[in-house]
Amino acid sequence: MDVDKLSFRFNRHDPSYQRELLAHDILNSIGVPASRVAHANVEFHISGDGNFYGRSLPQTYNMGVYQMVEQVDKPFLKRYFGENGYLFKIGGNADLAGSAEADLNCVAYENAVTYIDPNFCQIGVEKSDPNSREEWLGTAHYLNPQFVNSDINDGGEDSQFRPYKPAYDLKSKKSSIATGRALLQKFMSFVQTYPSASMLAEQFDIPGFIKAQAAEIAFGAVDHYVRVANNYYLYFNPLTDQWIYMVNDFDFVFRDSHDISIGLPSWFAAFRDIAGTYAFPSTGKVDWASRELGSVDPILWDIVFSEQANKEALYSDIKSILDNHMDWDVLGPKLATRDALVTTAISQTEAGLPDGCGFIYNPAAINADAGATLCDASDISIKQFIALRRETLYQELQENGL
């Protein structure tokens, strides 16, 4: 499989256990660079002799079903693009439009002698944990019992180390962060001049971006670049000298709204009315780029779709996805088969159940009909989302002569 690493993701906020896998299945089918994903029944095996909490060893526990996700790393890049290049994982209101991230005079974390500086570069290599106790507490304190035994950072002594989590986190070629940072800052500075789409195409893979946006719109993946400036990668392909937009993290898809148990705050409107959202502005309709979270400025979207030809290309990709990959007569039996494969393992798990019914397996979230009441009053089944999404987007296509 050419895979070095896998992650196992809990089916967060998805009682169907199917949404993220379905999204990746379609992405893989249409040629958008994305992880391969499969269900995995995870068992936890404790070996040895003696007893463990009153049970004789060895013991094996059924931990339930997870999403087994291929990591986007060097083997992934070589498989898709033939070469390892600079790969940045991007999130947290990072839209390429800010001046701070493009600042050539920022303080490079890798060269710093302190761990706290508001001027640290927003492009870097994440460091979440210290390398040693000495680095964490400082040379003068790490052997001092009074310091060590205090409530570190919580009413006691303060550690010198603080996690560094840049918004643009380099995931490959980390030892060459200075070069990678310079390349990305140069691209940001170029984008912030608002070039024409044809000029942007010299440095950025526009057809790939359009296809990825078509998929995100069709799935209702609002927690990504355009609305939230989150959950995406930028990869510099050394074979083409172009930046490539890559998708990431589809745990919030095929849903019409966030969990409304928190209410309906205006700042969270980006996560509502998704099934009925148009791609582009239309009278009386919510459109994809009109409900940004906070101060997000999706500059790439604005530049690319300033040209009519690119809007038409997006519509064409959306239509292809609806026609060929979001037909419930085809998807329904496929999801039923997958559900049958995992339902026993889920129901017989020995793991503790999380709080809140929104986390608990419920096959009705796959195929419940309109009007069915699911755990979360705002939730609709995958079947209903697809029906509404097809109705909405086909209507938009028709209005635009397609």
pLDDT in tens, 257-288: 888 777 788 888 899 999 999 999 999 999 99
Helix, strand or coil, per DSSP, at residue 255: coil
pLDDT at 262: 75
Residue holding tokens 């440095």? Answer: 203
Residue holding tokens 């938009």? Answer: 396
Higher pLDDT, 262 or 341: 341
Which sign does the torsion angle of CA 94, 32, 239, 202 carry? negative
Q: How far apart are CA 100 and CA 89, in angstroms?
A: 18
Side chain identity at residue 63, one-letter code: M
pLDDT at 351: 66
Nearest C-alpha neighbor of 383 from the set 338, 323, 317, 336: 336
pLDDT at 174: 95
Phi, psi (degrees; rounded to nearest 5) at 223: -85, 40
Q: Find the mean pLDDT for residues 322-335.
A: 97
Give me 195's structure tokens: 């070039």
Contacting residues for 146 by C-beta, under 8 A, at least 6 apart: none
Give DSSP secondary structure letters for 21-40: HHHHHHHHHHT-----EEEE
**How high is the mean pLDDT of the chain?**
92
Q: How many residues does the chain have?
A: 402
pLDDT tens digits for 285-294? 999 999 888 8
pLDDT at 370: 85
> For the chain, what percent of residues have pLDDT higher than 90?
74
Residue holding tokens 């929104």? Answer: 358
- In this prediction, residue 3 has a pLDDT band, given cuts at 50, 70 and 90, of confident
SS (H, E, C) 339-375: HHHHHHHHHCCCCCCCCCHHHCCCCHHHHCCCCCCCC
pLDDT at 128: 94
Q: How many CB atoms lie within 10 A of CB 159?
A: 18
pLDDT at 136: 92
The answer to whether residues 11 and 18 touch, using CB atoms and an 8 Å cutoff, is no
Q: Find the mean pLDDT for residues 69-81.
A: 91
State the number of CA atoms in the 13 A half-sphere of 2 facing the CB.
Answer: 12
pLDDT at 339: 95
pLDDT tens digits for 345-382? 888 887 666 666 777 888 999 999 988 888 777 889 99
309-315 CB contacts, 8 Å cutoff, 24+ apart: 310/197, 310/206, 310/210, 311/280, 312/402, 313/207, 313/210, 314/210, 314/213, 314/214, 314/217, 314/279, 315/279, 315/396, 315/397, 315/400, 315/402
Q: Are strands 123-124 and 168-170 parallel, antiparallel or unpaired?
A: parallel
